[in-house]
Chains A and B, each alone.
Chain A
């Protein structure tokens, strides 16, 4: 069995090269660049230590990036004002909120974003459009999983996909997207007794359940593709996924640890990809 460990760099790198090539081809037509505004609600907004992944990746791709750092004490009204200004700002093509957001702010933030600039794909209007396949933005984490599957070049038609978890950013949107690609989907929102058996039926297993090393090699169908979007932080600060990686590599054909390794570069690349989409529709 030729197993293959996929890295974020590998999958994301391909997309980044596509973005760079596209922008290069536009270079002669316009001086404008894609603009992304990031809302970050931080414990300590004055701390200069954090360099955001968006800033780094944006620089690499030649984007205009603005990070708006807000304290968790910021009122909902203030956040709405900041977002409204960015909604109207022509330099800004995408507006993205870093997660996690404090619960009491999440609703206000998500719904204030103009659905046409919602590059994180979390606005209910964009989530609702996933149904019929006409969504303008796909939630970026789900898009990252799709991108990884696309990278493996395996057809999805007729495949059995098992999704462990029920988040709004991975399992729920993915379920709808994979149905459109003619896969049969099983969603396990919680731990059930026959979980190992359900997992073994999967040609594609996607987990985000947040149970460190729950999924053993024996739970995986030989030759399956496994995406591990689960992430748990251990006491020593290390990140652990849901899958016992060394065992999975013995059984699966593809293993993609999305979250627990270089946390989130691919997801950010998807935010950039979505931002490019709005940029292109506005400028070309």
Chain B
């Protein structure tokens, strides 16, 4: 295999160590960053995310509180809890775990979180600021991708980055981040998706290729040029009877053959995954600093 592996676990560890120091510094000034999490329902994937967020908070010395509601909790109740967290100085960050049950409006819930405490970076005001290049909490997964690139020595500046996928949580915000005239950005960015006639025409141009389509093995070796940096954001559950859980995780990239051609590549699991929670912790610490200014 030719490509070097970019380990998300290692980069996440590095950032968490930095955050731990920052939290310790803040505590000397009597500032304790705190994350409030709201979980509605019993979705196993959601429970596992929320647990890893709580663990992350403990690891870096932050306050954390998760409020669990049954799947049939009325929207009013969720709004009331957010209202309380908006006004409670214990919380510098608020996160409502998605997806929400159908009877609750995601837009309404996200719009209700105070933009200063919106550590997911999904509030329309924060999205607008991101697009306008103003300081704001960056959405966690795309921010994690940016960190993986710059901390592995692959500064996107002046490079042609091709983003496959245009979701509101990865593709669009990642394009918005990387096109800014800022450090760790300033790239030529192409966003390609299922509407294109020939995706490989674009992927072959990429100096940096980001796969965020949500389709296993969608990026094959014939679609990448020699020496490309490949970041795989996809998390697909493939049924696998040999596993205790009954599935294994696979990315959007056909890993082995693509790794033969790429210069750097992220694995799944252990690539982008560990970065998402880490950047959430980062946003919560930053929010605590801003709120106490």
Contacts and interface: CB of A to CB of B under 8 A. Distances in A.
Interface stretch (B24-32, B187-195, B238-246): B187-195
Contact of A128 (B126, B133, B202): B126
B26 to A, nearest CB: 28
Contact of A183 (B129, B180, B195): B195
Given A131-B172, A166-B179, A172 B128 contact: no
A173 B195 CA distance: 19
Contacts of A160: 196
A183 B126 CA distance: 25
A125 interface: yes
Contacts, number: 99
A70 B133 CA distance: 27
Contacts of A183: 195
Interface string B188-213: 11111101110000100000000000
Given A157-B195, A184-B193, A192 B172 contact: no
B127 interface: yes
B131 interface: yes
A128 B128 contact: yes
A67 B190 CA distance: 41
Count chain B CB atoms within 10 A of each CB in A123, A183, A190, A194 and give the residue with the most. Answer: A190
B53 interface: no
Contacts of B160: 192, 194, 198
B74 interface: no
A189 B190 contact: no
B175 A124 contact: no
Interface string B54-95: 000000000000000000000000000000000000000000
B270 interface: no
B190 A186 contact: yes
Contact of B196 (A123, A158, A172, A187): A158
A117 B216 CA distance: 45
B103 interface: no
B132 A190 contact: no
Interface string A60-85: 00000000000000000000000000
Nearest to B202: A184
A125 B123 CA distance: 9
Given A124-B128, A128-B128, A179-B166, A186 B189 contact: yes
Contacts of B172: 131, 176, 179
Instruction: Tell me the interface secondary structure of chain B in the complex.
Output: mixed
B193 A172 contact: no
Contact of B180 (A124, A125, A189, A198): A189
A131 B202 contact: no
B124 A184 contact: no
B168 A131 contact: yes
Nearest to B199: A184
Given A183-B195, A188-B188, A192-B158, A124 B176 contact: no
A168 interface: yes
B175 A175 contact: yes
Nearest to B157: A190
A206 interface: no
Contact of B132 (A131, A172, A184): A172
B129 A124 contact: yes
B188 A173 contact: no
Interface in B134-167: 134, 158, 160, 166
B179 A158 contact: no
A132 interface: yes
A186 B124 CA distance: 24
Contacts of A188: 188
Contacts of A124: 124-125, 128-129, 132, 134
B4 interface: no
What are the nearest 4 A-B pairs in CB distance? A124-B128, A128-B128, A128-B124, A182-B195
8 contacts: A123-B128, A128-B127, A131-B168, A157-B195, A184-B195, A187-B188, A189-B187, A194-B160
Given A124-B134, A189-B180, A189-B181, 16 more contacts: A125-B125, A126-B128, A131-B127, A158-B195, A158-B197, A160-B196, A172-B132, A176-B131, A179-B191, A179-B193, A182-B195, A184-B193, A185-B191, A187-B175, A192-B158, A192-B188
